[in-house]
Structure 1
């Protein structure tokens, strides 16, 4: 969020949390992008604040968290038990309250990452019927950006064709057989896995979608897939190529504001080609 919107988001989170009887003397910005994560001190709640236009996504995330809270051993950050498990709408913002977890300074052990993801997938298989998009729905949004030259005017023709082919044909191949599809985190990369006293916990549940587990493994460090029982290594690379193609599609948008965007435009295309090369037989 831009500074004016961020200030309003902080004010809304403070006011709403105080009305719930929780003390807020200070607010620490943990993450700021299209929506923000705010640590509320000393109540130690975490407020996730989004523009009200993203209300449906915020409500979806809360519903995923609410269902996972009913599953034993789900390695996931929980909603704050002191507040009603719902999204509060106020002054143009959608606010949900979560438990704040103090991150440990040490890194997550290599064996703990695949174990946490395996347990997370097992928990998702127990949440019941949940109306979630398929990962190909997200691919379709990225493909639309690539096909729209007005939205991505600086993307070279050869690179545009690379992204178009990867997003359309490769995702169609991956999704041809949906027999093994299940609920997924959607983006279980290292930034979405906290190292806490409770063990590794996944956050940012708004990306939950349906697809093969290899789509999740494609977002994790490479060693995770090697230690995840039953994973198809070649399928992971195919999913990784699609993932980097989506990432690149966002970076080439005319209005993308990611820091160091020019670097990531070039790096994203490089990583697409590297993943595609590893998809080849042999």
Structure 2
């Protein structure tokens, strides 16, 4: 978010928590992108604040969290002192979560894989109407197929993204077996190292697909510790993920920090991933 919108979002998060009886003397920005994560102190709440256009996604995330906590999934929990719902204030959708003190140790690949195994097992125990991963690919395709939405893309890069998003998705779909609910984006930024152990956050990306789609978001070493993973399929999913990442970065209204760097890095990683699975 831009500085002015960020200040408005922080005030909306602070006011919402205060009205619910939580003491808020200060707000600390933990993460700032298209939505912001704020630590509210001294009540130690993590407020996730998004523009109200993200209301449906915020409500979906809360519902996913509620169901997964009931089956002991390794996920961050909503704050137990308030109702588990999304609040709307001043044009923002606000959800309140437990804040976890970070652990000193990093998450080793084996621990990462174990957390993902536990998470996938928990996801198989819940019933949830979630989109297919191909729906997200279709959303990325709409961005790159529309020059008004992605005016900065060169013709060659646009062609690369379109062919990857279409062709790799077709190849993955032809081999799909045993699809299930997934986290959707379990990259290192969405796995917290806490004193309780690794916990997944950002649950609004939950979708249905092969477990390799999730594994492709994790560091490469993680898959070595995940039994039964199809490593060729992981390589293809990783190429697809970098194509989607690049599609979002080239949106005209993308607000990711250091966007120019990530535009170039995304395309670089896409070329490397395609070469690795023989599609370069």
TM-score range, shorter chain: over 0.9
Partners of 1:179 and 1:31 lie apart in 2 by 36
Partners of 1:171 and 1:19 lie apart in 2 by 46
Seen in structure 2, the aligned counterparts of structure 1 residues 22 and 260 have a Cα distance that, compared at 3 Å, is: closer
- Does the 8 A contact of 1:175 with 1:211 survive in 2? no
Q: Are residues 1:87 and 2:93 paired?
A: no
Shift of 1:280: 2.6
The equivalent residue for 2:77 is 78
The equivalent residue for 1:104 is 103
Stretches (4+) displaced over 4 A: none
The equivalent residue for 1:119 is 118
Unaligned runs of 5+ in 1: none
Number of equivalences: 279
The equivalent residue for 1:165 is 163
Seen in structure 2, the aligned counterparts of structure 1 residues 159 and 122 have a Cα distance that, compared at 3 Å, is: same
- Does the 8 A contact of 2:86 with 2:94 survive in 1? yes
Shift of 1:176: 2.9
SS of equivalent to 2:70: coil
Seen in structure 2, the aligned counterparts of structure 1 residues 170 and 224 have a Cα distance that, compared at 3 Å, is: same
> More relative contact order in 1 or in 2 (CA 8 Å, sep 6+)?
2
- Higher mean alpha-carbon deviation, 152-161 vs 52-61, is at 152-161
Shift of 1:105: 2.5
RMSD: 1.5
- Higher mean alpha-carbon deviation, 16-25 vs 248-257, is at 248-257
The equivalent residue for 2:131 is 133
The equivalent residue for 2:66 is 66
- Does the 8 A contact of 2:31 with 2:38 survive in 1? yes
Q: Are residues 1:223 and 2:221 paired?
A: yes
SS of equivalent to 1:174: helix
Q: Are residues 1:249 and 2:247 paired?
A: yes
Partners of 2:236 and 2:277 lie apart in 1 by 6
Q: Are residues 1:156 and 2:154 paired?
A: yes
Unaligned runs of 5+ in 2: none
- Does the 8 A contact of 2:61 with 2:203 survive in 1? yes
Shift of 1:178: 4.3
